[in-house]
A and B are shown apart, each in its own frame.
Chain A
């Protein structure tokens, strides 16, 4: 039921204005213009703990340390060959390398063969698992590069009895 009510008011010039308003049942004011938003306009809502919605923090600041002594003097003696002692060689300037990789570059197989050459005897006696892994990987790469696909011949190792001499040549394709 619409309730009509009359209102009278005067404007600045003293003229009488009559306006008619209509109301709905629960006090809502009816208009033929405008927009009433039906979404929440109150402000920030509280963050509930039981829902997994943590806030998006900025990433933590990681200090790049650009001007430590090590970073400021990076590459310091790389041109010592020209500007200083001529006898200094660049493989001597690499400090953090394993001893079998000083002044060396190559592919993976070359790295492994060089390691075997330098450290094979020591590993065979003191670290047998590492030695085993090394030679298995070498054999895998050799077969992969040089032969077509067979039934994992790099896992087959030659077996020799206690009193027999070692063979000169072993063909993995025989077994």
Chain B
């Protein structure tokens, strides 16, 4: 699987090398049990040297990235992770990113602005003064548009919704483009798990400062349930957010400067996106809402 990287590079960066274990992880099962990696690095390194990918790309080989830890402050690499080029090496389509972000911003908004028309104003339809005789302008009612406190002619009317659903292909393309952009700007980091030794938020803050991980970080894990230490640390720091895989979206990826994924999250993301990229659902993009109740 490794074509560009040599063994000497791995030996140079790994602190301890007892024996090189060749891991072949399927997309469904995780590479190692999460219970083992609690506040300590396993003795045998590297943990991952290769990963089996579904739907291998015809033209491009797999990309490689370092596997890091949050269990200790010192930046030691645990191995190398293979990445699928269909997701992590697509074209950086800014127009698709823009469309995704605009959709996310507008499709949930409701404009509550309302300017009542003339017939909803108080029923004072009397002429304020006669048509002629007084030296003043001629008026029909006290609530015309030219009066102070009068109605607005073509103003907003009522709650308006801007709901629409972007096609599935564009959303998938948007996710892949956002991930490529982040990876190729060195803002994506892969981590074995989110197990921290302490619950102090200063630990994570200093760790991120030492490694230049940026002021805002998005931590993505497989499931909703996260370890207590990282939950406490992220709740107390501004800019650190935790998210499961199903909550990932283009707006959050681009709002946070760095993206930190676990291996389990990476497996799940790749599985879902590759399945979506290689399936044809032209007619059933979005099921229609239930029929209107009378």
Query: A: which residues have CB within 8 A of B?
Result: 67, 72-85, 89-91, 93-98, 101-105, 108, 111-112, 114-115, 117-118, 133, 136-137, 140, 155
In the docked arrangement, what's the CA distance between A97 and B159, Å?
8
Given contacts A74-B251, A77-B249, A83-B268, 5 further A-B contacts (CB under 8 A): A83-B272, A83-B273, A95-B108, A102-B289, A133-B120
Most chain-A Cβ atoms within 10 A of its Cβ — which of B119, B161, B216? B161
Are the C-beta atoms of A137 and B157 separated by less than 8 Å? Answer: yes
Complex CA–CA separation, A72 to B110 (angstroms)? 20
The answer to whether the Cβ of B165 comes within 8 Å of any Cβ in the partner chain is: yes
B286 contacts A90, CB within 8 Å?
A: yes
Minimum C-beta distance from A48 to chain B (A): 32
Rounded to whole angstroms, the CA-CA distance of A96 and B111 in the bound complex is 11
A89 in contact with B287 (CB, 8 Å): yes
Q: Given A67-B216, A103-B163, A111-B160: A82 and B117 within 8 A (CB)?
A: no
A154 and B18 alpha carbons, distance in the complex (Å): 88
**Contacts A90-B107, A96-B110 known; A76 to B249 CB distance under 8 Å?**
yes
Chain B: minimal CB distance from A136 (Å): 6
CA distance A74 to B255 in the complex (A): 10
A78's contact among B104, B117, B163, by CB below 8 Å, is which? B104
Hey, which chain A residues are within 8 Å of B243, CB to CB?
A: 73, 76
The complex places the Cα of A80 from the Cα of B224 at a distance, in Å, of 13
CA distance A72 to B247 in the complex (A): 12
B252 located at the interface, meaning its Cβ lies under 8 Å from any Cβ of chain A in the complex:
yes
CB of A84 within 8 A of CB of B245, answer yes
Q: What residues of B have a CB within 8 angstroms of the CB of A90 in the complex? A: 107, 163, 165, 286
Find out whether the CB atom of B157 lies under 8 angstroms from the CB atom of A97. no
Q: Which residues of the partner chain B approach A77 to less than 8 Å between Cβ atoms?
A: 246-247, 249
CB of B247 within 8 A of CB of A73, answer yes
Which one of A75, A82, A155 lies within 8 Å of B251 (CB-CB)? A75
Verify B292–A82 contact, CB threshold 8 A: no
Task: Contact check, B110 vs A82: say whether CB atoms are below 8 A apart.
Answer: no
Q: Which of chain B's residues 151-208 have a Cβ closer than 8 Å to chain A?
A: 157-165, 168, 171-172, 175
15 sample A-B contacts, Cβ–Cβ < 8 Å, listed by A number: A67-B216, A72-B252, A74-B251, A75-B249, A77-B249, A80-B247, A81-B168, A81-B286, A97-B163, A104-B163, A111-B160, A118-B292, A133-B116, A133-B120, A137-B157
Q: Return chain B residues, CB-CB under 8 Å to A94.
A: 107-108, 110, 161, 163
On chain A, the residues within 8 Å of B289 by CB distance are 89, 91, 102-103
Among A67, A75, A93, A117, the residue within 8 A (CB) of B252 is A75
Is B248 positioned at the interface, with any CB of A under 8 Å from its CB? yes
**Is B37 close to A, CB under 8 A?**
no
List CB contacts (< 8 Å) of B101-118 with chain A: 103-105, 107-108, 110, 116-117
Q: Determine if B141 is an interface residue (Cβ-Cβ < 8 Å).
A: no
* Cβ of B245 to closest chain A Cβ, rounded Å: 6
Residues of A within 8 A of B128 (CB): none
- Contact present for B293 and A82 (CB under 8 Å): no
Across the A-B interface, give the 5 residue pairs with the lowest CB-CB distance, nearest first: A84-B246, A75-B251, A75-B104, A76-B247, A103-B289
Give A84's nearest chain B residue, CB to CB: B246
The reply to whether B108 and A72 contact each other, CB–CB distance below 8 Å, is: no
Interface residue ranges of B202-244 to A (CB < 8 Å): 216, 238-239, 241, 243
Which residues from A are CB-within-8-Å of B268? 83
Task: Say how far A22's CB is from chain B's closest CB, in angstroms.
Answer: 68
Residue of B nearest to A102 (CB): B289
- The answer to whether B249 and A101 touch across the interface, beta carbons within 8 angstroms, is no
Taking the closest CB of chain B, its distance from the CB of A103, in whole angstroms, is: 4
CB-contacts of B249-279 with A (<8 A): 249-252, 255, 268-269, 272-273, 276
Bound-state CA distance A108–B160 (Å) is: 8
Chain A residues near B250 (CB, 8 Å)?
A: 75, 79
A114 to B161, CA, bound (A): 12
Contacts of B163 in A (CB 8 A): 90-91, 94, 97, 101-105
Closest to B101 in A: A75
Complex contacts, B216 vs chain A, CB 8 Å? 67
**Docked complex: B76-117 residues within 8 A CB-CB of A:** 103-105, 107-108, 110, 116-117
Nearest-CB residue, chain B, relative to A120: B294
Please name all residues of chain B whose beta carbon is closer than 8 Å to the beta carbon of A133 when the two chains form the complex. Answer: 116, 119-120
